[in-house]
Structure formats: C-alpha cells, structure tokens
A and B are shown apart, each in its own frame.
Chain A
Amino acid sequence: MPITRRVFLKNSALALVSTTVVPAFLQRAAFAAEPGKKRLVVIFQRGAADGLNIVVPHGEPNYYAMRPTINVPKSDVIDLDGHFGLHPSLASFKPIWDARHLAIVHAAGSPDPTRSHFDAQDFMESGTPGYKGTEDGWLNRALRAGDAHAEAEPFRAVALGPSLPRILAGHEPAIAVNNVRQFGVGGNNAAAAPAANTFESMYAASADTVLHGTGKETFDAVKMLKDADPSKYTPAPGANYPRGHFGDALRQTAQLIKANLGVQVAFTDIGGWDHHVNEGSTQGQIANVLREFGQSISAFWTDLGDLQEETVVVTMSEFGRTARENGNRGTDHGHANVMFVLGGPVRGGKVYGQWPGLAQEQLYEGRDLALTTDFRRVLGEAVQSHLGNRDLNTVFPNFQNSPRNFLGFLG
C-alpha cells in the first residue's frame, strides 16, 4: 500500500496528549532552518504539452511544412540559439535564459511507446516506463537515501493540490496541501482548536493503520504551518503570479519554502494541454495555457530570491504531440517532448540533448518527434547532482543511470 508512513511516537500515551508535550518534529525543527538545503521542485504538464510549439525548432523547415496553420511564425519566435526559440507566451523565460539559469532538454521523454495519457503519466510518475507494478513514485524514492535526520519534517515532501499524486506516493512521508491558509481543522478559526485536538487524539489512537498514519502526518504539519504563520505572506517584489490554480500552487510552494519548513521536494501540476482541436499558435489555446505556465514559473523564480541558489525546478509532460497538425488544426498524441530545467546551480542558456530532426524518416513511427534523451537521465542528474542521492538504481530501477550519461546541466 503506497500510503506514506512515518515512524510513530514510541509511546502511544504520548501521542494521545501530544498537545501538551513538545512533538518530536519540533525538537528536530532546528534542522529545517539549516541553510543550504537543496531542494527540487517538479512540475507536471498534464495532457501532453506540444513541445514543438513551446520550444520551437524554427531553424527546421519541416516544422513549418508540417504545421501549416498552427506553427509559430519565425518572426514571433523568441530566438535562443539560431535553431530553437521560445513561444512568445514564454517571454518571461528569456531573462532567466539570458542569466544562464534556464536549460532546455529537447526530444526528451519516456521511451515507452504508449500514447495513453493515463499510462504515460503513470510511467513518468512511477519512474518505471513499461512497468505498471511499481507502487510508489520516483520523487518519493528520491528521498529514500537522503539524510536520516530530515525524516520527520512534515513538509519535506509536499504536493500542492487536493490529493497526493502518484509521483510522491511511497515509503517516505509526503503530504498534500490544498491551501496553506486553510490548512487545519476550522481554518483560521481559533475557536475550533478544541475540536481539532479531539480529532488529533482520535486519529492518534486509531487502530486503522492507514488513517492513523495520515492523521498523524496531517496534524504535525498543521502545527508547523501555524507556527510559520502563512497568512502574513507577501511575495517578493516583482513576483507577479497570474491568477489561477497553477499560479496559486507555485505561490504557496514559495511560501512553504521561504518559511523554512524543510521542503526538500515539491510537486505541482498544470492541465489543459491536450489540444486535439484548434490548438492555436501565437494566440489561442496553447498560447493561453503557456502564458499561465511561464508567468507562474518566472514569478516563482523571482519570489525565491536568494533561495534560487538551492533550488532546481524541472518540468515534464507525459508525451509530446504529433509533428504534423491534424485536420482539426490541432495535434494528436505523440512521443518525445521538451523539458525545462531552471535553478541557481543550473548551467543554463543552452539547449541540451540531441536534435533528431523532423524529416519523414527521422520521425518516430513516421509521425512523432523521436526520443533522444530518456527523462530519467534528466531527473537522475537532478536527484544525484542536486539532491545528493547517489542511489539512482533505487530511484530509477532497471535503468543505466550514471554520471557519465548525465547531460551536464548541473556541472
């Protein structure tokens, strides 16, 4: 059962009256404030984002030939290196690129041939393409061999959203937070405290192992967040998060990180990429969702300030889309895609990976961008070089992943 578990307080009587004693996690909270802790933020673009219209291969004539109505015209592309360029909705990424904190990996993704959203997302979250039996997520396993003292931090692994995603399921404790301000029984209402205490004791005493464990994690986290007083939060100057679910999620992620709650890995997602019909180019569906995506991430980046140095952000999507547009001015499920990596330690300003080309014979199954970089190579580098977990065989089983194969975006 991939529900996260923690080591419970040895003495259950202690747990019963935990409101009156200092909880174990608070005793260890000193480590949370320890500066220099590395963290990884993972963003999932659910629905198969169209990488070819996101980082546009404008130096590739085939691109324009295959997408007569939905291409991003050369004149509108924000050129990066003469061959690739950003969709104009990603204008806010350009300064980060220029400062060499943004790297791009093109033609990356999962090698599994599935074109099912469900399967492909599942594989990318479990980290085991082609194998459905994996019960936990790679981001959870990435914490497995980490420093032992950090184990009890309630916010060590956090997902912004109403439920814990597959990627964070597993042995290590991980929590889902929907709204940091409302996180607790009775929200901000102090009068609800006695009821909260009762529920806490009830779950602490429960023999239902699943609910007991989650209950404990929940109440530990509630207390810690309360001490950090998130209602007083204002983003850093210049960090203008757009309205909407994704901007909110990243603003709250920044909030948790800056509150020194010991966040080591964070996850959030953004949907709305499945453009089978009327995808649009510089305007339209993809332009809108991409603007929300780009502005949210760049606001998050600005908001982090000095903490940029300790943070790496990786984006991914389950697969790319067909190289050709379909008859509905959209694109269908494809194969390889583009990934963004940004962060203080990132050697950015470069498109990594090998470009397979878009000529008919270069396409995967004659229709999709071919894959030249396995997503696990990208993530493996982030896990080992940034988070410091060298046990990549556990994080990504059955995949040859050694520093020799890294792309080198983390030096």
Chain B
Amino acid sequence: MLTRKRTASLALLVAAAAAVTALHATKKTNPPQLDDTHRIVHALNRLTFGPAPGDIDRVKAIGLDKWIDEQLHPDKIDDSALDARLSNFLTLKMSAHDMAEHFPPNQLIKQVADGKISIPRNPDEKLVYLAELQRYQFKLEKKNSKGKPDDTNDADNSASDADNPERREMREHGRQVAFQIAALKPDDRIPAMLRLNDDDRRSLLLIGDPARNQLTDGMNPADREAVLALRNPAALVHDELTQAKLLRAIYSNRQFEEVMTDFWFNHFNIYVNKGPDRYFVTEYERDVIRPHALGKFKDLLKATAHSPAMLFYLDNAESVGPNSLAATGPPPFRGGFGRPAQQQKKKQSGLNENYARELMELHTLGVNGGYTQKDVSEVAKVFTGWTIEEPYRGGNFRFVERRHEPGPKHVLGQRIDEEGEREGDHVLEMLARDPHTAHFVCNKLARRFVSDDPPPALVDRMANTYLQKDGDIREILKTMLKSPEFWTPESYRAKVKTPLEFVVSAARATGADVTDARPLVQTLNQMGMPLYGMQPPTGYSMKAETWVNSAALLARMNFAFSLGGGHLNGTQIAPELLLGQNEPADQTIAEATLENDLLAGDVSEQTRTVIQKQFNDPKVLAQASDDPQRAKREAVLEGLILGSPEFQRR
C-alpha cells in the first residue's frame, strides 16, 4: 500500500515536471538547432561508433529520419559482411555448456583426472583434454615436490626461460615437433598430434606465435581452435569474445544496435574474469543483452536476472535462505553446484545480498531510489534459490526450492507472498515499473547520448515515455531523438570519447581493414578500458573526467600515430581510400581532404595551423611510416588528425 502511494505521488511529480517544461517550451522558442549537414554528422557521432568513409553521403541520400528508423530496426539491416569476418570464431555461436566442453576449465580437467568424466572422442576436443591433463598433472607433481602451490602458467611465460634451461630446451623441441607436423596436410595434423608421445605433445604447449601459425595454416576453424586452445583454453574464448566485440563495433551495419548493446552490457556489467563467467559472457551478450537492446527494459532486466553470468557474477548463485530446507534440514541428497566435494557436505546457510543490492542501486532504482538496507535483505531472500546448475560446466539457470527462504517478504513497503520462484519475477516487475527506475535509466541514456549532465527536462520527458510505454526502449530513444535538446549546437561534439569509442571511431574513420583485432584489444587495456574487464558492477563511466588525463591522452596520441603510420599489426589502411588514387600535390588540399574524411571538416583553425607548420619538418616525415605502400605525408596527417583534440570528441 505504502509503495503504491509513493509511486503515485512520484508519477504525478514527473508528470507535473514535464507539464511545466512543456509550458516553458511553448513560451520561449526552442533552443537553437543544428543545420541539416551537422545533424547528420551529429547523429552518426552519437548513434554509431563514428562515421566511416561515405557514411555522411549515404545518410544524406536516404534522409536522416529514414536512416534513424532503419537503425532502430536492426533486424532488417543486412550484416553478412560482418558475419563473414566473424565466421572463424566458432565460440561466438556456442552455448556456455559447449564452450566449457570444448575448452575445459581447470575444474573440469580435475574431474577428468579423478576419473569422474571421460575424455571426449572428438579429435579436436581430445587433443585439448590430453594437453590440459598433462598440464594439470605437471602442476600437481610440482606442487607435491615443493609442498606449496605454484600457479605459474607454464606456457606463455618466456621471461622465465632465461633462468630455466630445461624449459628453453623443451620449447626448442616443441618448435621442431610443430615444424614436422606443419609439413603434413592440414587435415592430418590433429590425428598426428594425438599420436605424439607425452613429452612431444607437452613441448607443443610452449611454442610461440610463429610456430603456432605454421601449425594452423590452412586448417579448418575447428582444428585451428583446438591448436590455439593448447596454450590456454579459457583464454581462447576470451580472445574471440574481445576480438568480436571490436569487429562488430567497427564493421556492423547495425551500428545503433551495437552502441545499445554496449550500453546495456555496461549497465548490467559482468566481469569476464570471475570464474566461470569466462564462459558465460559470450552467451550473455548474445542471448540476454543484444536481443533486448531496443526492446522492453522489463524483459532485459528479467533476462539478466535469470542469466548464469549475472547469477555467478553477483553471487546470487551461492545465496541460501537462512530458514530454508538447505540450511536447516538434512543434508541434500546431491550437492554438486560446482563446489569442491568437501564443501558439498557442509550445510549451506548463507544469505548473499550482493545481487539484491546492485539490482536496486545499479540496475533499477538508482542509489537514491528510496530503498533501505532492510529492503536489500528482503530482496536477497526473494532471490534465494535462483542458482546455476553446474556452473563450471556452463550450466543453466535453475530454481532450487530447498534453498529458498520460506515465508512472505516485504519489499519497498509491499508484501510479497510466498510463491517460490515467482517472487523474484514479482520484484523484478515491481522494480521495472518504479518511477525511480524510469528516471535513473533515462538519465543514464541521456548521459550516453546527449551530454555528461543532461538537461533535466529532457530526462523527464524520456522518463514519461518510459512510464507510459511500459519501458519500451525504442520508444524512449525516439522521444530523445525528437527532443530539441538532442540537436543543439552545444551538444555537437560535446562528449569526450571513451577509449573504446576513440579506438573504434578511428578505425572506422580511416576505413581500416582489421584482420587481427588483438592489438586493438591490447590498446584498450593500456587505456584503462579492458573489454569485459570492469571488475566492479558499476560498469565504465561515461563522463569526460574519467577519461581525460595524462596517461590516457598519451595512449591516444600513440595509438593515433601508429594507426595512421600503419605500425599496428593486423590493421591495414588502404593508402588511396581517403585521398584518392592520386594524392593531391598541394599540401593544403591534402590536409583539407583528410580533415573532411576524418572529422567532417571540424578542425579548428589552431589545430590546422599547427599541423601545417609541423608538416614541413623533414624529421616528421622521416619517421612517419614504415610502410612503403603508404604516402608518408598522408600517414603523418592521419596520425595527427586522429590524435588532435577535435578527434577526442564525438
């Protein structure tokens, strides 16, 4: 009852605020608006990861409104070129279960070693399992001989070679083995590797990239992945996930969907390196976030709440009602929620509040959303029993009645009757309906798309749409895009790009051909924004202050220069793409052309003066490019424009 009153009065308040704004709007004229060309550039800057060559003309040709409408309905946009780029990454289509089976985590290998699970028959999988078993046994021996755990990864650690001659020798041996196998036909290589003796196969775990590349050359994707997984199975999954993220952001034609997927992933953040979340994140993004990115907030919220990724990340999978059967009754017939055998015998009795708290603070109501510590505990009780079946084998959501806290709960002044799993759904629906949620979510959207401190009137209008249209995200975004506040000159290039936005927009602007995205993934690590790597549930900040600082700025300039100069492995820039086949003889024209291509001509007089002045310096030209195919002048110009203050904003 109490809640209903509170809700009603808040809704009134929101409505009243909107009415006042509307009144104001009619009284005074709308804020100054951008002209047509700038509207297109602005839309591309905000709704995509930045304009690619030809984008502005393309939008001009179909018309801005029609283009926006297209982007709001991504299913109708052809994306086959991107699919082709991603076709080698088989894990992108796998379930977490299949992934854990193909690329087993340590927990699974331990079970194989203990004889609880048998080695798969499929040759690719078999190879990975045999290698992992060897690694596991080696570690075990080492541990026993030293009497203490040693978790150094024996592959991928060339630094310790110097003081370990035995290792060096083994690596050398591995190179020779790899060389012999690489001489076979691609389809014969995996069977040959299975026939190797233990020492030979173990030596293959130590080989470096060049030898591995020889080994995988010409292989089908599945065989290739098995070989790559010899290094570290879980790392392969992570590798494909992060590369795919960048390739989608750079090449997807469904740009707005990608931007929104990024936004919601960040909102419902998962840290990929937390245990089995390594395997859950791929399907989480694919099946939980992306399908709902433009759908209803309520559905998105429910999908995240049920996802193994979230259940594990925020510990709800471990939560047990203090008065539940699991806590008070006889030991369960079968424990086995992926915990070590010893612990399964213990009574499980812990209420874990982590998810409940973040659900209200970060996912829905917001930190000032009017809930108390008592509400957190009650919501935690509501979600007891929501867990994962065998998390380390990529298991699915499961509701375990015997862990569920019995009795009614009281959340935000409302009584939740005892109803098992349904209680959680009730609470999620209640939270999704709450005006605090509407406001919190819309404010965050406006911060991403409009400005670091969005106009309150705009947020109120969006929140109104949220409440009237049952949290329909597409409708909320339409309201935002119809608002004069979105199209003001002040908001034009007002947002500082995050590292992800910067790197991707640079790759898009230059029309780069990325064949190996790993160096770009590395760049983002250096810029303090590792993909799927934000440990706290807050997600990354979208405000300028977080991303404008010395270290980050230097990293940006360095990246700009190496991208422009063609120094970045795995990324090629076609020389004639931006300047045309014949580079203009006149330097001023060349510069103006690139300004147009990369920044829609939005380069300040100051920047232009500096670039032109430094441009005559032969030393600048001398080190600009290693690439003989590439005009040095163009390389320098591109690097300088991409590193300029102007390019840091969108």
Contacts and interface: CB of A to CB of B under 8 A. Distances in A.
Interface of A: 1-3, 16, 46-47, 113, 115-119, 132, 161-164, 169, 175-178, 183-187, 191-199, 201-203, 205-208, 210-212, 214-215, 217-218, 221-222, 271, 276-277, 326-330, 332-333, 365
B550 A161 contact: no
B15 interface: no
Contact of B607 (A117, A162, A191, A206): A206
B435 interface: no
Given A185-B554, A187-B558, A205-B607, A118 B350 contact: no
A276 B550 contact: no
B536 to A, nearest CB: 6
A394 B155 CA distance: 53
Contacts of B253: none
Contact of B549 (A164, A183, A328): A164
B535 A328 contact: no
A332 B352 contact: yes
Contact of A218 (B315, B327, B550, B561): B550
Contacts of A221: 550
A384 B85 CA distance: 60
B67 interface: no
Question: How many B residues touch the partner, as a band?
Answer: 35 or more
B551 A326 contact: no
Interface of B (DSSP majority class): helix
A16 to B, nearest CB: 8
Interface in B518-544: 526-529, 535-538, 544
B545 interface: yes
Contacts of B646: 208
A218 B553 contact: yes
A203 B606 CA distance: 9
B565 to A, nearest CB: 9
Interface string B579-611: 000000000000000000000000010110111
Contacts of A218: 550, 553-554
B549 A163 contact: yes
Nearest to A272: B535
B553 A215 contact: yes
B648 interface: yes
17 contacts: A117-B537, A118-B536, A163-B551, A177-B550, A185-B554, A185-B561, A192-B623, A194-B617, A195-B623, A201-B613, A202-B610, A205-B607, A206-B606, A206-B607, A214-B549, A276-B354, A326-B351
B233 interface: no
B362 interface: yes
Interface in B346-372: 347-354, 357, 361-362, 367
Q: Which of the listed residues A1, A161, A195, A328 has the most CB atoms from chain B within 10 Å of its own CB?
A: A195
B320 interface: yes
Contacts of A217: 550
B607 A327 contact: no
Contacts, number: 182
Contacts of A326: 350-352
Contacts of A330: 350
Interface in B125-162: none
Contact of B639 (A195, A207, A212, A327): A195
B550 A175 contact: yes
Contacts of B327: 327
Contact of B561 (A1, A164, A192): A192
Q: Which of the listed residues A117, A169, A327 has the most CB atoms from chain B within 10 Å of its own CB?
A: A327
Q: Which of the listed residues B315, B546, B557, B649 has the most CB atoms from chain A within 10 Å of its own CB?
A: B557
A132 B368 CA distance: 10
A116 B357 contact: yes
Given A118-B367, A198-B620, A327-B351, A210 B550 contact: no
A269 B382 CA distance: 35
Contacts of A277: 315, 318, 352
B555 to A, nearest CB: 7
Return the 5 tightest CB-CB contacts between A and B, nearest first: A327-B350, A162-B528, A326-B350, A327-B349, A205-B606
Interface string B41-71: 0000000000000000000000000000000
Interface string B320-332: 1010000100000
Given A178-B526, A197-B614, A201-B610, A1 B545 contact: yes
Given A115-B357, A185-B557, A211 B551 contact: no
B558 A176 contact: no
B619 interface: yes
Given A185-B557, A198-B620, 5 more contacts: A118-B362, A184-B554, A191-B623, A205-B607, A210-B496
Interface string B550-580: 1111110110010000000000000000000
Contacts of A196: 557
B640 interface: yes
Contact of A207 (B376, B528, B606, B643): B606
Contacts of A184: 554
B153 to A, nearest CB: 12
B620 to A, nearest CB: 4
B80 interface: no
A211 B549 contact: no
A300 to B, nearest CB: 20
Contacts of B538: 117-118
A320 B168 CA distance: 46
B159 to A, nearest CB: 10
A163 B351 contact: no
B397 interface: no
Interface string B92-111: 00000000000000000000
B637 to A, nearest CB: 11
Nearest to B561: A195
B551 A186 contact: no
A139 to B, nearest CB: 15
B164 interface: no
Contacts of B609: 205
B353 A205 contact: no
B357 A186 contact: no
A186 B322 CA distance: 58
Given A205-B609, A205-B610, A211-B548, A327 B348 contact: yes
B373 interface: yes
B548 A210 contact: yes
Nearest to B348: A327
Nearest to A164: B549
B29 interface: no
Contacts of B649: 208
Nearest to A325: B350
Q: Which of the listed residues A47, A132, A199, A205 has the most CB atoms from chain B within 10 Å of its own CB?
A: A199
Contact of A115 (B373, B550, B551): B373
B176 interface: no
A186 B564 CA distance: 13
Contact of B554 (A1, A183, A201, A365): A183
B640 A202 contact: yes
